[in-house]
Amino acid sequence: MMKIHDMTNVKDYSVEYDKIMNTNLEIIYNANKEYNSLKEMYSFSVDPKYTYIKSVPFGVNGYTHPVHNKWVDDILEYMGIEKNACLDSPRHNNKLRYSFKSYEEAVAALFMVKKSIDKHHK
């Protein structure tokens, strides 16, 4: 069984919270406690060095919004895995976070993403 970081009893925005949320390619249980109405309890994030394309202007005050390549989405769609994607920004380095309803889907998705990184991005 793969190691899982359990955020259930971790205080939001604590040092421990930031340490766990800053991990890449590791499964986190209950990362987005406030937004779990969809019951997507298992998630992992992908380091922007594998997905970031550019930043585009957004809103006022010179803020920019990162644009990411969708290769991870393409892999998961091909596998038939339902997911939700969000941006951990800016607190957690504008990483893409993928969330899943089941542990098994999260593990399968993470395996394929890691395999693709090893093949195409290293």
Poorest-pLDDT segment among 4-13, 75-84, 90-99, 108-117: 90-99
Pairing between β-strand 27-29 and β-strand 4-6 as defined by DSSP bridges: parallel
Average pLDDT, the chain: 89
Q: What is the pLDDT of residues 15-55, one digit of tens each?
A: 999 999 999 999 999 887 666 555 678 999 999 999 999 99
Q: What was the pLDDT predicted at 36?
A: 53
Measured between alpha carbons, how far is 78 from 46 in angstroms, rounded to an integer? 18
Q: Are 76 and 70 in contact (CB under 8 A)?
A: no
Q: What was the pLDDT predicted at 65?
A: 84
Q: What was the pLDDT predicted at 118?
A: 96
The tokens for 55 are 């930043």
- Which whole-number Å values give the CA distances from 121 to 18, 37, 67, in the listed order? 26, 34, 18
The more confident residue out of 100 and 91 is 100
Q: What was the pLDDT predicted at 63?
A: 83
Mean pLDDT of 61-65: 83
b/e for 64-94, b at 16 or more Cβ within 10 A?
A: eebebeebbeeebeeeebebeebebeeebbb
Q: What is the pTM of this model?
A: 0.88
